[in-house]
Amino acid sequence: MHKSILLTTPDGAQTNLHQTKPETPTTVEFDSEQLERGHRERGRSKKKRGERDPYASSVSRSRSRASSRSRVREEQFLKWTVLRQDPSMRLRVVDQDSEEDEDNDNNNNNDDDGPNDDDVDDEESDEEQVSDVDNDLEIDEEFHYDLGMKVLPNFCTSINDVLDSAKPWIAKYEISIRGHENDGVSLERLAGGYVRAMQLLTKGAGAEPGAQRCFILYTDLSSESTYALTYLMGAVLNQGDTLYIVHWEPSTPVDDAQMLANVARIRKHVMHLFDCVAGVLDDLDVVVLSLTHPYPKHLLNEMIHGLKPVALCCSLSVILGTLQNFVCSVPTLAVRKKLKRAKRKGICE
């Protein structure tokens, strides 16, 4: 009951000063036909859920995940993920209209997916999870495309062309610097009989003043480490970055000529890569360091703590050898070179 003030008009009629709003119903009323139709639809949906496999909805539609789960059930520890197809070939452009039609077709076929879930697990996956292996041939066979034909962002040619051009370019470079191989190399003898050889290689104006981006490449002078340097130059470094190439010489005692030769071996590959990235990168600093040290892992951790690099880069052979069980505070990029497989001689570098 709402109270209001009565207002008397000139003609003698009385009206409410404040008009009360009509009460709105708080419940929704349905007729008998709507209620009956709702019961029928609810019963039909329950019947569908009862006929469908209760575990069908939890089965992933991703074939790669299904494959990995089956291998985990076999208690195999996964190590490699091999892409059977070139990642760039898996990209496709889909029109919005065709994508909507495809979604509608998938929704219409959802009711029939239950009995065929086992077929999804049996299909071959584009990504294969491979467990620990002793022979790289088992992994190398899974690649059906040539990784070397890719053009890295900082290169103008493919990786294979860059690697193939290294020998003739380095031969001309060694002729041009004959007699001045050790110019710019700093050789120091440290306490305890240890030796350190270092050289700064600058391209263009070098690293930007106060630049914070730097990377550390730990190398063992192997062909795979050279490939890791090539990949780092082609895909990771940016304008004005600094790269520290660290080589630990395991043999002791060591003479000065050996340390200078280690620096020269790294320098010729760096100069070749400077020429390869000339079309994209103008300013770079590369510090080449070869030294002897009783605890190389401790030295590397001290460098990481002091330089604060973006990442530590190395080849897979270094990870499995010198840096085995190594832990650091920055991300680690391990580069593995794909082996070339001959028809009769198996695989070789």
Tokens of 257: 């000529």
As a whole number of angstroms, the distance between CA 201 and CA 172 comes to: 18
Q: Which of 96-110, 209-223, 326-340 has the lowest mean pLDDT?
A: 96-110
Q: Are 128 and 142 in contact (CB under 8 A)?
A: yes
Pairing of strands 284-291, 242-248: parallel
**Average pLDDT of the residues of the chain:** 74
**Does residue 95 surpass a pLDDT of 70?**
no
Is the CA virtual torsion 76, 82, 85, 87 positive or negative? positive
Q: Are 226 and 143 in contact (CB under 8 A)?
A: no
Q: What is the residue type of 95?
A: D
| pLDDT score at 136 | 60
Q: Are 245 and 229 in contact (CB under 8 A)?
A: yes
**Does residue 345 surpass a pLDDT of 80?**
no
Q: Which secondary structure element, helix H or strand E, spans residue 341, and what is its range? A: strand 340-341
| Average pLDDT over every residue of 317-326 | 88
This prediction's pTM: 0.61
Can you list the domains of the chain with their CATH numbers? 64-89+120-145 (no CATH), 151-348 (3.40.50.620)
As a whole number of angstroms, the distance between CA 232 and CA 314 comes to: 9
| Average pLDDT over every residue of 312-329 | 90
| pLDDT score at 77 | 45
- DSSP annotation of 345 reads S
**Does residue 73 surpass a pLDDT of 50?**
no
Residue 131: pLDDT band (50, 70, 90) is low
Please indicate whether residue 184 or residue 74 has the higher confidence score (pLDDT).
184
- The CA-CA-CA angle for residues 328, 231, 314, to 5°, reads 25
Please indicate whether residue 326 or residue 12 has the higher confidence score (pLDDT).
326
Q: Which residues contact 22 (CB under 8 A, 6 or more apart)?
A: none
| pLDDT score at 255 | 86
Is the CA virtual torsion 250, 251, 252, 255 positive or negative? negative
| pLDDT score at 338 | 66
- What 3 state SS string does 95-147 have? CHHHHHHHHHHHHHCHHHCCCCHHHHHHCCCCEEEEECCCCCHHHHCCCCCCH
Please indicate whether residue 345 or residue 337 has the higher confidence score (pLDDT).
337
Residue in the structure block whose two tokens are 């009565």: 6
Residue 325: pLDDT band (50, 70, 90) is confident
**Does residue 63 surpass a pLDDT of 80?**
no
Residue 57: pLDDT band (50, 70, 90) is very low
**Does residue 289 surpass a pLDDT of 90?**
yes
Residue 286: pLDDT band (50, 70, 90) is very high
| pLDDT score at 120 | 44
| Average pLDDT over every residue of 300-323 | 92
Q: Which secondary structure element, helix H or strand E, spans residue 8, and what is its range? A: strand 6-8
- 3-class state of residue 291 by DSSP: strand
| Average pLDDT over every residue of 127-140 | 56
**Does residue 140 surpass a pLDDT of 80?**
no
User: Which range has the top average pLDDT, 38-47, 128-137, 326-335?
Assistant: 326-335
| Average pLDDT over every residue of 188-207 | 90
Q: Are 154 and 275 in contact (CB under 8 A)?
A: no
Q: Which of 24-33, 145-154, 197-206 has the lowest mean pLDDT?
A: 24-33
Is residue 126 packed enough to be buried (19+ CB in 10 Å), middle (13-18) or exposed (0-12)? middle
pLDDT tens column, 217-267: 999 999 999 999 999 999 999 999 999 999 999 877 788 899 999 999 999
